[in-house]
Amino acid sequence: MFVQVLFFAAMKDHFSSQERLELTEESNVRGLRDFLLERKPEASSLLQVSRFAVNQVVVGDEFILQEGAIVAVLPPSSGG
Amino acid sequence: MSVLETFAHITFESILLPSKLPDIPEMGGYVFFSGIVRNVNEGKKVTHLEYEAYVPMANDTIRKILLDAKEKWDLLHADCIHRLGKLNISEIAVIVETGSMHRAEAYAANRYIIDRVKHEVPIWKREFYLDGSSEWSQGCSHETQH
């Protein structure tokens, strides 16, 4: 299945701002993080502290991704 | 009508100081906070900043924080606007306004809102330094003391 993944801030040093990724069926957020870690080990420290949002809602590692989901990888916020 | 979606709590324009108070006759206290771009961070000379956001989610997160503040305190007014894009030194990056019958609620709610905005809203700051280098800010783990 395919999901859209959005990357922001320092994450864009490692990934494009928007990528369409093919994951195995029933992949959860942990699976996506592992997939990204494997592709870019140099992004691992940032990936470990990033939150994941699906359709703009922050979700946990066990969240099951659906075909077509829009997943945002959110490094720690630094607004203000 | 513009085809660009507009967001109540996110702007790419300069944020100006309000010239008048919200028109609320019951309001007896009004607190205004502004977060400003300063010229130094962790000992390094900063020339300017760039903010980016996951805009729809940032807007919605701020909206929810304001609703939470209104549930916790008797507020007559609460608003927050964050600017994105390139900001120069001494420009306003974010404002929080709170108003209530008495000052205590307005002060407490204002602090609550800005603290949550800094930690939870998907907005990121890139600092540009005098030596030409730049860096994404590493979150706000020690911002509460600053």
Q: How many CB atoms lie within 10 A of CB B116?
A: 18
Chain B residue numbers touching A10 (CB-CB < 8 A)? 124, 136
Query: Quick check: B51 and A79 CB within 8 A?
Result: yes
Find the helix or strand (DSSP H, E) in which B53 lies. strand B44-53
Is pTM beyond 0.90? Reply is yes
- Residues B2-49 have pLDDT tens digits of 566 789 999 999 999 999 999 999 999 999 999 999 999 989 999 999
Nearest of A25, A17, A49, A52 to residue B141 by alpha carbon: A49
Mean pLDDT of all residues in B47-76: 98
Residue B79 CA, chain-centre distance (Å), reads: 9
pLDDT score recorded for residue B6? 85
Structure-derived torsion over alpha carbons of residues B86, A11, A54, B12, reported in degrees to the nearest 10: 0
What is the gyration radius of the CA atoms in chain A, in angstroms?
12
pLDDT score recorded for residue B146? 40
Does domain A2-74 fall under CATH 3.10.20.30? My reply is: yes
The amino acid that residue A71 corresponds to is: V
Q: Which of B7, B83, B115, B136 is the mutation pick for testing A, counting most A CBs within 10 A?
A: B136
DSSP B101: S
**CA B144 – CA B64 distance, rounded (Å):** 21
| ipTM of the complex, rounded to two decimals | 0.94
pLDDT band at B140 (very low <50, low <70, confident <90, very high): low
Is residue A77 less than 8 Å (CB to CB) from chain B?
A: yes
User: Looking at chain A, how many residues does it have?
Assistant: 80
- Give alpha helix (H) positions in A1-80: 29-39, 44-49
Q: Are A11 and A46 in contact (CB under 8 A)?
A: yes
- Residues B106-128 have pLDDT tens digits of 999 999 999 999 999 999 999 99
* Structural domains present in chain B: 26-132 (3.90.1170.40)
Quote the minimal CA–CA distance from B127 to chain A in Å.
11
Task: Break chain A into its structural domains and give their ranges.
Answer: 2-74
pLDDT score recorded for residue B3? 61
Chain A residue numbers touching B118 (CB-CB < 8 A)? 77-80
Is residue A9 less than 8 Å (CB to CB) from chain B?
A: yes
